[in-house]
Amino acid sequence: MTVSYSDSVTTTNPWTFLKLLIRWKGSVYKLLWRELLFYLALFYAIHFIYIYLPKDHQANFESFVKYTKLYQNIIPISFVLGFFVNTVMTRWWNHFEAIPYPLSIAIHISCKLQGYDEVGRAMRRTIMRYVCLSLTLVFRRLSTRVQLRFPKFKDLVIAGLMFDSEVQIIEDVEAKYPGYSKNWLPITWAANIVAKARNEGRIDDDVTVNEIIHELNAFRQKLTVLLYYNTITIPLVYTQVVTASLYIYFLAALFSHQHIQSDTSYNIGSFNLDIHPILLILQFIFHIGWLKVGQALVNPFGMDDDDFDVNSMIDRNLQSSYIIVDNMHNSYPDILKDRYWNELPKYLPDRAKTVFQINSPKAVNDADVVDYTEPRPTTWNDLEKSNASYAVIRVNAPINLVPDSGVIAHVYKNIDNVEHEQLLINRAMQRKSQNRDSNLSEESEESIRESK
C-alpha cells in the first residue's frame, strides 16, 4: 500500500520533513541497504587488494585509477535518470487515474432501477456484483497480491463474487474462443440485466437505459486502459540503458575514488579521506535511490510498499455498492427547512476561532456566559405549530460568528474584545425592542376588540 505521510506535514516547520527522514517503511534506506553494504564491501576489497599488490602492479593500478577519475563524468547519468523517473512517475499517476470506481454506476442503478420486491433487489445487487467482479478479474491479471488472494475461480466463488454456473459460462467461452481475456463478460451480463429491467418496466424510459449503459461502457473502457498499461510498458531498451549506465558509472567510481599512495592531495595529517568514501556513499544513495524509485513505480500493482492496495479497493467497492443499491435504496433523511431558511448565511461558525474551548481547564464564570436564545423548529411538523420547539445547540465560536438564524446558543463572551461584546448587546437590544413592539401591538389590538 502507498505509504501516506500527508498528516505529518500539515504545517511547515524546521522539523516537519526532518522527521520523515527517520521513517523506515517505504524509505530509501529500506530499498538500498543491501546494495549499499555490497558496494562498500567491493570498495574495501579493491582497496586491500591494491595495498598488497607488488610495486609494479600498484603503478598500473594507479594509472587505471587516474584514468577512471578523468573520464568517469562523461556518462550523463543525471539527464538519463531524470528523464526515466519523470516518465515512470507520469505513468504511475496515469495508472491510478485509470482505476475505475463503481459508485457512480451504483447511484444510477439505485435511483433508476425501481422495485421493492425480491426480483428488483436481486437485479440491483447482481448488476453491481458483476461490475465489481469485472474489476476483480482485471486486478487478478495485474496485481500479484490479488493473484495470491484469488488464484482460482473457486476462490472467487468462496468469496461470494461468483457462482459455479457463472464460472462454467466463463470457462466455456474461454475454451470456445481462446487467446484473449474475457474480463468484459460480467459487464455484458450487467448490461443484459439492465435491458431486461427495461422490458419489465422497472426502468422508466430508454434515455435512462442509455445513461446506465454509458456508465457501464465507461467503466469497461477504463478496465481496458489498465490492461493496455500492463501489456504496453516502457520500452525495455530504455530501461536497460538507464540501469546499465548507472551501474557502469558506479563500477568506475569503485576505482576512481580509491586512495593511491602517489596522490597526497587528499591527505590531512595521517588521515586519508578517500579511505572512507563518505561522499561516494552519499552519491550512491542519491543516484541509486533515484533509480530504485523508478524501478519500484514501473509496476504499481506489485508487492512494494508504494504499490496500490487493490485488495482494499475490491472490498470497499463491493461493500459500498451493496449499501447504495440495497440498504440505501430510495432512502433519505427527513426533508426539513434548513437553519438559514429565511436568510443567507454570511459565514459559518469556525471551531478553530473559538474564544474559549469547551474543554478548557480554565473555569468560566456565569458572568462570562451569554444566552443567545431564539425559537427554532426542530421538525417539519413544528413549522405548522404556533409554538415552535426549542433546540439547544452550543456554538463554540466567537460571538461575531453566531448565525442570525433561530438557534439557542451559549457563547462565551470575549471580555478582551469590546466589539464582540458590543455586538451581542446590540443584538439583545434589537430583539428586546422587537418583542416590546410585538407586545404593544397585541395589547392595542385586544383593547380595540374590547372597546367594540
Give 182-241 pLDDT, tens digit per residue: 889 999 999 999 999 999 999 999 999 999 999 999 999 999 999 999 888 888 998 898
Is the pLDDT at 70 greater than 90, yes or no?
Answer: no
Task: Answer whether 200's CB lies under 8 Å from 145's CB.
Answer: no
pLDDT (0 to 100) of residue 388: 38
pLDDT (0 to 100) of residue 129: 96
pLDDT more than 90, % of the chain: 33
CA distance 110 to 104: 10
Task: Answer whether 87's CB lies under 8 Å from 293's CB.
Answer: no
Return the SS3 of 177. coil
Half-sphere exposure at residue 58, Cβ-oriented, CA atoms within 13 angstroms: 14
pLDDT (0 to 100) of residue 123: 95
pLDDT more than 70, % of the chain: 72
pLDDT in tens, 343-399: 888 888 877 665 444 444 444 444 444 444 444 444 444 444 434 333 333 334 344
pLDDT band for position 446 (50/70/90)?
Answer: low
pLDDT (0 to 100) of residue 411: 36
pLDDT (0 to 100) of residue 260: 75
Q: Where do runs of H (alpha helix) occur along 113-184?
A: 118-142, 144-149, 153-159, 164-176
CB-count exposure of residue 265 (10 Å: 0-12, 13-18, 19+):
exposed
Report which of residues 146 and 418 the model is more confident about.
146
Is the pLDDT at 426 greater than 90, yes or no?
Answer: no
pLDDT band for position 441 (50/70/90)?
Answer: low
Highest mean pLDDT among 24-33, 69-78, 316-325, 377-386: 316-325
pLDDT (0 to 100) of residue 377: 43
Half-sphere exposure at residue 100, Cβ-oriented, CA atoms within 13 angstroms: 25
Mean of pLDDT values over 151-170:
94
Q: Which helix (H) or strand (E) is 424 found in, with range?
A: helix 418-451
CA distance 191 to 325: 16
pLDDT (0 to 100) of residue 321: 95
| Whole-number average pLDDT of the chain | 78
pTM of the predicted model as reported, rounded to 2 decimal places:
0.69
pLDDT (0 to 100) of residue 23: 75
pLDDT (0 to 100) of residue 103: 94
Mean of pLDDT values over 405-417:
38
Report which of residues 14 and 170 the model is more confident about.
170
pLDDT (0 to 100) of residue 68: 84
User: 10 Å Cβ neighbour count for 170?
Assistant: 17
Return the SS3 of 412. strand
pLDDT (0 to 100) of residue 375: 45
Cα–Cα distances in angstroms (integers) from residue 201 to residues 111, 112, 120, 209, in the given order:
14, 11, 11, 11
CA distance 254 to 276: 12
CB-count exposure of residue 220 (10 Å: 0-12, 13-18, 19+):
buried
pLDDT (0 to 100) of residue 444: 64
Report which of residues 88 and 350 the model is more confident about.
88
Task: Answer whether 258's CB lies under 8 Å from 275's CB.
Answer: no
Q: CA-based Rg of the chain, rounded to a whole angstrom?
A: 36
pLDDT (0 to 100) of residue 403: 42
CA distance 330 to 324: 9
pLDDT in tens, 239-290: 898 999 899 899 988 888 887 766 655 554 545 555 678 888 888 888 898 8
Q: Tell me the backbone φ, ψ of residue 297, rounded to 5 degrees.
A: -95, 0
pLDDT (0 to 100) of residue 264: 56
CA distance 249 to 256: 10
Closest CA to 396 of 414, 375, 383, 421: 414
Task: Answer whether 424's CB lies under 8 Å from 372's CB.
Answer: yes
pLDDT (0 to 100) of residue 435: 67
pLDDT (0 to 100) of residue 420: 53
pLDDT in tens, 9-52: 667 777 777 777 777 777 777 888 888 899 999 988 988 888 88
pLDDT band for position 2 (50/70/90)?
Answer: low
